[in-house]
Amino acid sequence: MVQQERALRTRRVILTAAAQLFDDFGYEAATMSEILRRAGVTKGALYFHFTSKEQLAREVLQENARVPAVPPQRLKLQEAVDQGLLLAHLMVRDPVLRGGVRLALERVGQDQLDRSVPFQDWAEESLRLLVQARAAGELQPHIDPRELSDVFVGAFAGTQLMSHALSGRTDLNARVVALYRVLLAGIAVPGVLVELDVTEDRGARVHEATRLAARAVAHRRPA
Amino acid sequence: MVQQERALRTRRVILTAAAQLFDDFGYEAATMSEILRRAGVTKGALYFHFTSKEQLAREVLQENARVPAVPPQRLKLQEAVDQGLLLAHLMVRDPVLRGGVRLALERVGQDQLDRSVPFQDWAEESLRLLVQARAAGELQPHIDPRELSDVFVGAFAGTQLMSHALSGRTDLNARVVALYRVLLAGIAVPGVLVELDVTEDRGARVHEATRLAARAVAHRRPA
């Protein structure tokens, strides 16, 4: 059991090192020897857990294939924005997530990793919420939910990229908040706009609420 | 003279092939041998014009270091949006520009190409116009021009990336128009909003106007 825990920890250390290199230098420039060096494990340990750089990339991508779940909100527009604010919050903290986002955005046509999936997944998830927001009368009448969900996802992707290039993502929260404030002003009906919470600590609060909800579910499980 | 023209043409063919590979596969994955194959020139010709892949990348980036100039408009918000609409129009047509944008967005820390410059250049240029728009009363009072110029540039960058991933940029114009429409609704005062031209053929018309203006300047030059 202790041995299994140690193996899991080693696996995590390797995955984290790989994700950091993917995030900093991209998939192609990251090498197995550099991953080895950064993880500080033996070659034997690395190849015991992962057979290739492609497998590492696949697992980094897989960890983040899903949009982070957010607690349901009365205003569906709030829920849609919470997804982005939570993602920004998590990206600042989680190197595996950052690596996964970079891999997803890097379209490298020569290998077999499908990178259009994260865009589509998130756009579909946004669309689901925005259709509900529309039905609830939260959106201005000229807004097309499908166009808007693509704008949400594309604009977020570029904003985090710019934050990566200019500040190493230290200003990610602030940039994402600025983006949503500008977007929402043209989207929400006035009565909804004043009720929306788009602040720099919203992502952290959504994260905490998500963790509490997960713990409550765990407690309800029969022993 | 004919020889010189031929040399210039060969140089262009090589630069275009390199830019296409950078755009499709990224800087690291593009190889000199594949650039050679795609350009269809001899190894001697390639190395006569360019000493390395890094030099090719540098020149591709350099061609696009400047934001495309747009004709002055009465509404400065129109001028700011015209920059993005023209860039989208040009990207669909110009592989060297596409390659340059991909290189600019790819942050690869291991080499000496500075990729934060294009973000900053465009953000500064946008800011200049948005400050004028603010002074002219075109912006809603709560809008901060600096935050907004960063939102413009970041959101455009991600939108073209998403268009690249999902449609090979065939829907770039449509996506950029959708982005600006949503953004402007939350930015412009109502009287300005109705006057702004944000349509799918606006980029082509700005391009034509720019070409005519350039020709007029050329004609005024003393012989």
Span B34-90, pLDDT tens digits: 999 999 999 999 999 999 999 999 899 887 766 788 999 999 999 999 999 999 999
Find, in chain B, the residue whose alpha carbon is nearest to that of A174: B147
B13 has pLDDT over 50: yes
Say which residues have a Cβ less than 8 Å from residue B68's Cβ, sequence separation at least 6: B83, B86, B87, B90, B210
- In chain B, which residues have their Cβ closer than 8 Å to the Cβ of A61? none
- Which one of B107, B158, B178 has the shortest CB-CB distance to A156? B158
The pLDDT score that the predictor gives to residue A109 is: 47
- DSSP string across B125-182: HHHHHHHHHHHTT-B-TT--HHHHHHHHHHHHHHHHHHHHHHHTTTTHHHHHHHHHHH
* Yes or no, beta carbons of B147 and A182 under 8 Å apart: yes
Q: Does A58 touch chain B (CB under 8 A)?
A: no
The per-residue pLDDT for range A12-64, each reduced to its tens digit, is: 999 999 999 998 888 888 999 999 999 999 999 999 999 999 999 989 988 77
The phi and psi torsions of A171 (rounded to 5 degrees) equal -100, 20
Q: Which of A50-54, A99-103, A214-218, B198-202 has the lowest mean pLDDT?
A: A214-218
From the list B186, B165, B170, the residue with the least C-alpha distance to A143 is B186
Q: Are B175 and B159 a contacting pair, CB within 8 Å?
A: yes
| Span A139-152, average pLDDT | 94
B 113-142: CB under 8 A from A: 115-116, 119-120, 140, 142
User: How many CA within 13 A on the CB side of residue B189?
Assistant: 14
Residues 6+ apart with CB under 8 A from A223: none
Confidence band of A110 (pLDDT split at 50, 70, 90)? very low
Give, rounded to a whole angstrom, the gap between the first and last alpha carbons of chain A: 21
**Residues of A whose CB is below 8 A from B24:** 107, 109
A25 and B119 within 8 Å at the Cβ level: the answer is no
> What's the CA gap between B44 and B54, in Å, rounded?
17
Cβ-based contacts of B27 with chain A (< 8 Å): 26, 28
Q: How far apart are the first and last CA of chain B?
A: 21
Chain B positions touching A120 (Cβ under 8 A) are: 166
> CA-nearest residue of chain A to B26?
A108
| Contact indicator for B220, B109 with CB cutoff of 8 Å | no
Q: Does A163 touch chain B (CB under 8 A)?
A: yes
CA distance to partner chain A, nearest, from residue B43 (Å): 23
* CB contacts, 8 Å: B110 with chain A: 25, 29
Considering only CB atoms, A157 lies closest to which of B150, B158, B178, namely B158
Q: What percent of chain B has pLDDT over 70?
A: 91
What average pLDDT does range A92-111 have in this prediction? 77
Closest CA to A145 of A124, A120, A121: A124
